[in-house]
Amino acid sequence: MGEIVRISTNAPWEPIAGYSRAVRAGDWVSVSGTTATGPQGGLVGVGQMYVQAKQAIANLAAALGRLGLDLRHVVRTRIFVTDISRFEAVARAHREAFGEARPATTMVEVRKLIHPDMLVEIEADAYAGDIGVAPAAAAVQAAPPAAARPEPQHAAALKAPVLPPAVKAAASPPPAKVAAKPLPKAKAKAASSPRRANKPPQRR
């Protein structure tokens, strides 16, 4: 398979930043950083690290599904969290989703994500060739927020930010005028007086 296939979702930032949710090139698939956005574009699990991680992985699985793949094909995940002290909640969601089909992974803390309520972002690389690995966990489903809370209506809050007008490069200041140092004047050599012809002494 030599063609490149790109898929998009309803995430508001995709057209703004000009990226695809997932891209398949031959047997390899890359899934962009995915957060806990719900079907209507709102954020699921405000303040809940585990719920957001679960939703992000479900979104990741949905993107792979559109390319005929599932989580068993994932070979690597990268997890970005805003509070690494709560890593156990994210680790639990990751473990439950992948089961025995464990991908390589990395988790790092970042200062913040694109929206202040987002706590987790996950990206993945997958292999679309023939695989002979242990099955992943049962089909990943988005975890409902705790206490059966409905999905928060944050669609408006999650609209892509308006990009500022192109920043004009500050005009470079004119080069400082450097006072030219006068070149040292060549010392004029004293003109040698013409030598007087030696006159023979006059005899008196």
For the stretch 31-74, pLDDT in tens is 999 999 998 888 999 999 999 999 999 999 999 999 999 999 99
Angle between helices 49-65 and 87-98 (to 10 degrees): 30
Closest to 7 in 3D by CA, of 73, 69, 51: 69
Highest mean pLDDT range out of 17-21, 127-131, 194-198?
A: 17-21
As a whole number of angstroms, the distance between CA 21 and CA 49 comes to 22
**pLDDT at residue 175, rounded to an integer:** 42
pLDDT higher than threshold 80 for residue 1: no
Diameter of the chain by CA atoms? Answer: 143
Domains and their CATH numbers in the chain: 4-144 (3.30.1330.40)
CB burial class (10 A; 0-12, 13-18, 19+) of residue 172? exposed
Q: Give me 155's structure tokens.
A: 């669609």
Three-class SS of 55-78: HHHHHHHHHHHCCCCCHHHEEEEE
**pLDDT at residue 41, rounded to an integer:** 82
**pLDDT at residue 135, rounded to an integer:** 55
| pTM metric for this prediction | 0.67
**pLDDT at residue 179, rounded to an integer:** 44
Contact 97, 137 (CB under 8 A): yes
Closest to 59 in 3D by CA, of 96, 87, 97, 28: 97
For the stretch 121-173, pLDDT in tens is 999 999 998 876 555 554 555 555 444 344 334 433 455 544 444 433 344 44
